[in-house]
Structure 1
Amino acid sequence: MLRELLVLALTGFCLTQALGIETHTADMDFLHKQKKIYELFFYIDQPKLIGSEFYEVGRTYDIEQNIDLYKDKMVAREFLYRFKLGMLRKGALFSVYYQEHREELRALFKLFYYAKDFATFYKTASWARLYMNEGMYIMALTTAVMYRQDCKYIALPPMYEVYPHLFFNNEIIQDAQRIKMTGYKKEVGTGNVETFLINTNYTTSFMKYFSDKEYQLDYFYDDVGLNNYYYYIRTIFPFWVSLKDLEVPKQIRGELYYYVHQQLMARYYLERLSNGFGEIEDFNMYKKFAPGYFSTLVYANGVAQPSRDRYSEVPVYKYKYVKEIRNIESRILAAIDSGFIMDREGKQYSLYSHEGLNYLGNLIEGNGDSCNTRFYGAIDALYRDIFGFNYDCKQKNCKVPSALQLFSTSLRDPAFYRLYKRIIGYFYRYKCNLPTYTKGDLEFSGVYIEDVKLDKLYTFFEEYDYLINNAVTVDNYKDGMNFNMKARKYRLNYKPFTYTIDVKSERTTKGMVRIFLGPSYDDRFFKEQTYFYYNWYNFVEVDKFMVELKTGMNTIERKSTESSLTAKDIFSGEKFYKKLLKAVEGNEPFTYTNKMYGFPDNLYLPKGRVGGYPFKLFVYIYPIDEAKLTTYDIPLFGKMLYDGKPFGFPLDRPMYPWYYDLKNMYFRDVYVHYMNENIEGYQYQKEKHFAEKYETYGHQYPKYEKYEKYDKYYGKHETYPVGIEKTLF
């Protein structure tokens, strides 16, 4: 079968380079494991799914009677003690950012992880599916599958199929439930399976645009693939456990935390430029917080996700967290400037060493490998708690997490990017204290990039269908397998293109190519001589790959779709499960690979503008030190090659302008053209809506200059003030 389509490449790891996709043909043992695990995610809000295998297994299993089947009996004893005492009840809202929830999650994960064999693990997972809180169960199960050796290469469904409530507006969920009950809009799909298709309704969305022009970026905030990516990238190295007993590369944990968020911030900044916004504003916790959050999400238990009005003040009941942040921030800044951190016993570690950035990342995230959470705390979690503006409930069963307190929804809140501007700022302070790269660090003797050519860059909005079966209730397992519920949304995408890089080499050698995309020169960075020195952190790494150069001229062709740092669309659950069943029945082979998830390929380019918006392309090639090559095996992301260079090299710190003319560097201005004429849905309705409102509200904007825009929908020229352009379009 074509399960290769499910394979995704890791993004956020600028330090890595794929060794190649390992493709294997599944044996029957693997197939049965894959089927059992995949089914555990079906209709997660219905624990007693009659007719399912896990229901029959779970209701007859007894952990206490089988305590010898766990490698660490104390883990099982602790879990049973907590369970009998009363853990988070089913239907309650779970967040890993609440301490009580986190402690119970850790106990459940360990129970899964320390099961002696797969059979015990599956029985335990089936039992927990019936009795444990749904949100806690999904996170513990997902993490356990990642780290158990007998689950290696098992595919996990995208989180938007598991919990549609966290990815789709409530009106879509309501439509899905209504359609399932009435059979309205029924269509017959392949194999006589009923298919229901829900088109996005824009009524609710327009409420946000009136309140905050920031929501012109909602196509980025609400991108389903991007939010799914963030969930899995944060679950690879869960901050709530220590990695000392897990087989993962612990030495990159803190550095990865920094780099993933730095790249997200840079990518977000490019999207801001495309929409006419500038720098992300700073905030003061003692003054009103500018961006609002107008949630259209409702949790599966019917509770609405908290919203936040524009220019809101920090609630009084959050003041204690503000004081704690002030104390922690002063300690972090003192550590960065002094160059030392200390553990619980008072032992000092140097931040300006090979492991320094990893130490700092662990410390700021406040994860299980932080040297001293008692002293340095977890400033990431505190920021999320304050600006989510949710109620500070003391009882664990009545807490209502904000968007910031769930990985699946964090990126939807504009506050996320303000908070991480502050958090990443700590790392920038650290990076600016590092020694600047010398010419010897940057050059590639005897290698010259002569030219870089690429096709014209286009972006557009397209329709895409997502499976949301878990949004509805079914009578039994058989009923759940006889229909497909899909939500159709618009998303940003781009026209694939090819890089052609001409490289001249004086010898046969190997090199690593990195391609970056960043802001072009603007009002702040109008001097080319100081451009990178002040703007290095706003570049997104879009590709990285190894090349073998022969003596003479080399022409390297690289397709954008081949990027090792992006991921193609995942195979939908309906198709994946259907092919899995055919393989289990022996009707066709089933192949699997060592890579599954990554950054969504459809967001490879920022939106740009009609007529083109300028960006700066930076291509860099450098020598490989084969003595430093190391292979890492990352859960869900496969085997990756670490080349010994920092994340984002050479744009991981300020660069002196007199190195810009090195022959192994190449700069080029490129324009990204947004093709709004290719859509008739999402963007059209937004533009039409605001155009109609101009006559009413246009007087509020300065009329100091005119520009003309041809509107194909009206077939005439319409004139608006330039001052209104950034707000309307």
Structure 2
Amino acid sequence: MFKELVVLALTGFCLTKATGVYPYAETFTADADFLHKQKQIYELFFYIDQAKLVGSEFYEVGRTYDIESSIEYYSDPSIVHEFLYRFKLGYLPRGSLFSVYYKEHRDELSVFFRLLYSAKDFATYYKTLSWARFYINEGMFVTALVTSVMYRPDCKGIILPPMYEVYPHLFFDNEVIQYAQKIKMSSGYKKPISHDSFNVETYFIDYNYTSLFMKHYIDGEYELDYFTDDVALNNYYYYIRNLFPFWMNIKDFAVPKHIRGELYYYIHQQLMARYYLERLSHGFGEIEDFSYSKDFAPSFYSTLAYSNGVALPSRERWSEVPSYKYNYVREIENIEMRIYEAIDSGYLYDYEGKKFSLYSAEGFNYLGNLIEGNYDSYNVNFYGAIDALYRDIFGFNYDCKHKLCVVPSSLQLYSTSLRDPAFYRLYKRIISYFYRYKGKLPAYTHAELDFPGVKIENVYVDKLYTYMEKYNYFINNALTVDSYKEGMGYNVKAAKWRLNYKPFTYKFDIKSASNTKGMVRIFLGPSLDDYYYKESNYMYYSWYNFVELDKFIVDLKAGSNTFERHSTESIYTAKDFVGGDYFYKKLLKSIEGSEPFSYSSKVYGFPENLYLPRGRAGGMPFKLFIHISPVEESKISYFDFPIFGKMLYDGKPFAYPLDRPMEPYVFGDLYNIYFKDVSIYYLKDGIESFYPEKYVADKYVAGEYHGKYEHVAKPYYEKPYYYGKYHY
């Protein structure tokens, strides 16, 4: 929970804490029951490619459990019968590749999930999972486990491990995985750099990825791979897409159904805006469009391999759509026309032919469900699942007709989607449908945007800096071990470069005519220099390129108010996960009773290290857009999402007021809107080239650097010969 700030009276000014009493993450102290549940669930993710982990608790439980003889412990016996019938016919076996984007896989997953959800109590749920570790495909098992933990009431608050620890091979190049396996297999590689705080031998893989040089020579797009391949970003995308899995009908669950489609749009619109700002930092400009009849521009050079050794499919630059994908192209062209017709006519049709208005209070949510093709869509048969079809076409994988020979492309896994440049081209097309809809809505009027009596007089922002740092990630799951005991005996960590920024503070001067509450929203977008428009016209053409950095409620007193907000307090970002090695050992100590175990309702979010785009060495201009609006207490609510904490909702559309084009004339005398020109400076030699050593030392104490000090210095890909003409 955010800290309270003392209110100081200073000559007519009120200094207040921006967050006030509105919590977005809560901290709890675990009791014995929670600790036991947390341990049992967390262990199920250990060495996931091994069906039998001798010595583990789930091994002993799973090998003796019988679902069929325990049917009375499930609330829906029909689900148990259906699962057992399908299982005896032949479920997807362990070792096969799995993706939710294949119908046979998805159908089996859905039945398995419903089996888990129908377990009457946690004991039955855990026994079922322990049994499933032996027999259910590991990809399907993890997906059902993650989703069921999110949705089962008796799992509330349980922390799930980051996917880069569960599936390191989907986040780290195959060279790293091979090296980790050599550490396990060969005593010559076993040279522990240090011991962790629990005195466990720790091996660090500090590797110069030779394949990266190949990628950059093939396609300049890979200059952005520090963003697209960011481990925390891909983990965020995996979990945010599993909040409302498209393969689930959520009508029977206690979740905010009215935002499902809108949240799908918002997640991807913000990702696209953030990606665009990163492109500007490299001088790339707009994302090109594509045509099915012309060669597809961006390549995808995969450096990943599945755990069974099969490489993820690659795609050459300027490739033609394969002939075996033509049937999908014809299907997608039909669906595109139907979506356009729905948007332009203002109506969509359900399975029975009934018309529903798209331009109603819930119309945008309907559209989001329709485009995602989720199980809440009004008519999947007619409007299809265009998201899945795009991924199928441009993943360039083989069109396998049998569930056992599927090789999913990077686009068909949430953990790897963001790595492929095709993702951003596809979502530019998908988001354009929403923009077409938004363009037909009436623009906000002056009265709708105004906050009478409130004026933003000034906004101060510290100087903005970004830099590259090396960070170590726990990857023990890349190995095969003989037993649970051996697996706990040492740690393997892989270093990877990532973008980070120097935390900064906003300071707001706001005058108010009365005591009131205001909702402050902060956005970052391209500078005016990139558009050559006047400020008002610029917002009309570039509203969708702004990233929402923060949103919070502030108490305003009559008169002048000054308050601060730290960048690290953003409700959208989350700090680094502490690491499974530390987390699990601390959990065990708490179970022993030697120390309390505290946990937060917010574990994941957009990665804090990517709060700012990279910018340039000499500084790159961007623009802050700040808007403060009245707070209607009756409309304020908090959606408490598992592992993402509380989401503040005030009844406004996501990204309001930059959720639709803004007409130029409304800016004339809106004093509750403020533009701020800022520059972002990229420190090529690392943060210590600018800042005193104390800053770096403080980060070590906080556990944010898990490597050696010298690793913070110059990143290998910042050499001029590597970036070529795009080196700044």
TM-score of the superposed pair, with normalisation by structure 1: 0.92
Q: Give 2:716's aligned amino acid.
A: Q
Q: Quick check: 1:18–1:640 contact (8 Å CA) kept in 2?
A: no
Q: Give the direction of change, closer, same or farther, for the CA distance of 1:470–1:367 in structure 2 (3 Å limit).
A: same
- Greater mean alpha carbon deviation, residues 590-599 or residues 369-378: 590-599
**C-alpha separation between the residues in 2 aligned to 1:300 and 1:338?**
48
The reply to whether residue 189 of structure 1 matches residue 195 of structure 2 is yes
Q: Give 1:114's aligned amino acid.
A: S
**C-alpha separation between the residues in 2 aligned to 1:677 and 1:195?**
28
**C-alpha separation between the residues in 2 aligned to 1:56 and 1:684?**
47
The reply to whether residue 389 of structure 1 matches residue 425 of structure 2 is no
**C-alpha separation between the residues in 1 aligned to 2:278 and 2:28?**
39
Task: Write the mapping of 1:293-308 to structure 2, written as runs, cut at 5 A.
Answer: 293-308=300-315
Aligned to 1:670: 678
Q: Quick check: 2:685–2:713 contact (8 Å CA) kept in 1?
A: no
3-state DSSP class of the match of 2:467? strand
Q: Give 1:131's aligned amino acid.
A: Y
Task: Write the mapping of 1:501-580 to structure 2, written as runs, cut at 5 A.
Answer: 501-580=508-587
Cα displacement string for residues 619-678 of structure 1 (whole angstroms, at most 9, x for unaligned residues): 110001112223322222233331011101000000011222410000011000000022
> How far is the alpha carbon of 1:523 from its aligned partner?
4.8
Count of residues paired in the alignment? 683
3-state DSSP class of the match of 1:97? coil
3-state DSSP class of the match of 1:620? strand
Gaps of 5+ in 2: 4-20, 688-710
Aligned to 1:170: 174
- Greater mean alpha carbon deviation, residues 255-264 or residues 631-640: 631-640
Among 717, 722, 725, which residue is 1:686 paired with? 717
Q: Quick check: 2:686–2:714 contact (8 Å CA) kept in 1?
A: no
3-state DSSP class of the match of 2:674? strand
Aligned to 2:107: 103
**C-alpha separation between the residues in 1 aligned to 2:166 and 2:455?**
49
> How far is the alpha carbon of 1:560 from its aligned partner?
0.3
**C-alpha separation between the residues in 2 aligned to 1:118 and 1:503?**
51
Aligned to 1:719: none
Q: Quick check: 2:684–2:718 contact (8 Å CA) kept in 1?
A: no
Cα displacement string for residues 428-481 of structure 1 (whole angstroms, at most 9, x for unaligned residues): 000000011001100000000000001100000001110000001111000000
Q: Give the direction of change, closer, same or farther, for the CA distance of 1:198–1:689 in structure 2 (3 Å limit).
A: farther
> How far is the alpha carbon of 1:683 from its aligned partner?
6.4
3-state DSSP class of the match of 1:500? strand
Q: Quick check: 2:497–2:715 contact (8 Å CA) kept in 1?
A: no
Aligned to 2:17: none
Q: Quick check: 1:521–1:531 contact (8 Å CA) kept in 2?
A: yes
Q: Give the direction of change, closer, same or farther, for the CA distance of 1:18–1:575 in structure 2 (3 Å limit).
A: farther
> How far is the alpha carbon of 1:592 from its aligned partner?
2.1
**C-alpha separation between the residues in 1 aligned to 2:500 and 2:614?**
8
Q: Give 1:219's aligned amino acid.
A: Y
> How far is the alpha carbon of 1:246 from its aligned partner?
1.2
Aligned to 1:699: none
**C-alpha separation between the residues in 2 aligned to 1:130 and 1:651?**
50
> How far is the alpha carbon of 1:566 from its aligned partner?
0.8
> How far is the alpha carbon of 1:394 from its aligned partner?
1.1
Aligned to 1:411: 418
Q: Quick check: 2:169–2:307 contact (8 Å CA) kept in 1?
A: yes
**C-alpha separation between the residues in 2 aligned to 1:106 and 1:211?**
40
Among 209, 228, 240, which residue is 1:221 paired with? 228
Q: Give 1:668's aligned amino acid.
A: K
Aligned to 2:44: 40
> How far is the alpha carbon of 1:84 from its aligned partner?
0.3
Q: Quick check: 1:197–1:485 contact (8 Å CA) kept in 2?
A: yes
**C-alpha separation between the residues in 2 aligned to 1:179 and 1:522?**
52
Among 436, 452, 464, which residue is 1:457 paired with? 464
3-state DSSP class of the match of 1:669? strand
Q: Quick check: 1:617–1:667 contact (8 Å CA) kept in 2?
A: yes
> How far is the alpha carbon of 1:681 from its aligned partner?
7.7
3-state DSSP class of the match of 1:397? coil
**C-alpha separation between the residues in 2 aligned to 1:481 and 1:355?**
50
Cα displacement string for residues 290-335 of structure 1 (whole angstroms, at most 9, x for unaligned residues): 0000000000000000000000000000000000000000000000
> How far is the alpha carbon of 1:100 from its aligned partner?
0.4
Q: Which has the higher contact order (CA 8 A, sep 6+)?
A: 1
> How far is the alpha carbon of 1:179 from its aligned partner?
1.0
Gaps of 5+ in 1: 5-16, 694-723
3-state DSSP class of the match of 2:286? coil
**C-alpha separation between the residues in 2 aligned to 1:20 and 1:608?**
29
Aligned to 1:710: none
Q: Give 2:195's aligned amino acid.
A: G
Aligned to 2:23: 19
**C-alpha separation between the residues in 2 aligned to 1:118 and 1:94?**
27
3-state DSSP class of the match of 2:371? helix
Task: Write the mapping of 1:305-704 to structure 2, written as runs, cut at 5 A.
Answer: 305-661=312-668, 662-678=670-686, 684-688=715-719, 690=721
3-state DSSP class of the match of 1:68? helix
Aligned to 1:715: none
Q: Quick check: 1:306–1:390 contact (8 Å CA) kept in 2?
A: yes
The reply to whether residue 149 of structure 1 matches residue 170 of structure 2 is no
Aligned to 1:160: 164
Q: Give 2:36's aligned amino acid.
A: H
**C-alpha separation between the residues in 2 aligned to 1:457 and 1:408?**
30
**C-alpha separation between the residues in 1 aligned to 2:159 and 2:363?**
34
Sequence identity (%): 67
Q: Quick check: 2:574–2:602 contact (8 Å CA) kept in 1?
A: no
**C-alpha separation between the residues in 1 aligned to 2:266 and 2:620?**
26
Q: Give the direction of change, closer, same or farther, for the CA distance of 1:523–1:557 in structure 2 (3 Å limit).
A: closer
**C-alpha separation between the residues in 1 aligned to 2:266 and 2:83?**
35
3-state DSSP class of the match of 2:574? coil
**C-alpha separation between the residues in 1 aligned to 2:606 and 2:536?**
33
Q: Quick check: 2:685–2:714 contact (8 Å CA) kept in 1?
A: no
Q: Give 2:675's aligned amino acid.
A: F
Cα displacement string for residues 360-386 of structure 1 (whole angstroms, at most 9, x for unaligned residues): 000000001000000000000000000
**C-alpha separation between the residues in 2 aligned to 1:289 and 1:682?**
38
Q: Quick check: 1:458–1:494 contact (8 Å CA) kept in 2?
A: yes
3-state DSSP class of the match of 1:282? coil
**C-alpha separation between the residues in 1 aligned to 2:642 and 2:474?**
25
> How far is the alpha carbon of 1:525 from its aligned partner?
4.0
Among 135, 141, 145, which residue is 1:137 paired with? 141
3-state DSSP class of the match of 2:493? strand
Aligned to 1:119: 123
> How far is the alpha carbon of 1:68 from its aligned partner?
1.2
**C-alpha separation between the residues in 1 aligned to 2:642 and 2:314?**
34
Cα displacement string for residues 40-73 of structure 1 (whole angstroms, at most 9, x for unaligned residues): 0000001110000001100000001111111111
Q: Quick check: 1:197–1:487 contact (8 Å CA) kept in 2?
A: yes
Q: Quick check: 1:490–1:682 contact (8 Å CA) kept in 2?
A: no
**C-alpha separation between the residues in 2 aligned to 1:396 and 1:638?**
36
**C-alpha separation between the residues in 2 aligned to 1:634 and 1:159?**
18
Q: Quick check: 1:248–1:633 contact (8 Å CA) kept in 2?
A: no
**C-alpha separation between the residues in 1 aligned to 2:71 and 2:505?**
57
3-state DSSP class of the match of 2:606? coil
Q: Quick check: 2:226–2:499 contact (8 Å CA) kept in 1?
A: yes
**C-alpha separation between the residues in 1 aligned to 2:465 and 2:403?**
49
Q: Quick check: 1:146–1:236 contact (8 Å CA) kept in 2?
A: yes
The reply to whether residue 54 of structure 1 matches residue 58 of structure 2 is yes
Q: Quick check: 1:161–1:470 contact (8 Å CA) kept in 2?
A: yes
**C-alpha separation between the residues in 2 aligned to 1:543 and 1:18?**
14
**C-alpha separation between the residues in 2 aligned to 1:189 and 1:686?**
30
3-state DSSP class of the match of 1:589? coil
Cα displacement string for residues 79-126 of structure 1 (whole angstroms, at most 9, x for unaligned residues): 111100001111000000000000001011111111000000000000
> How far is the alpha carbon of 1:247 from its aligned partner?
1.4
Q: Quick check: 1:171–1:201 contact (8 Å CA) kept in 2?
A: no
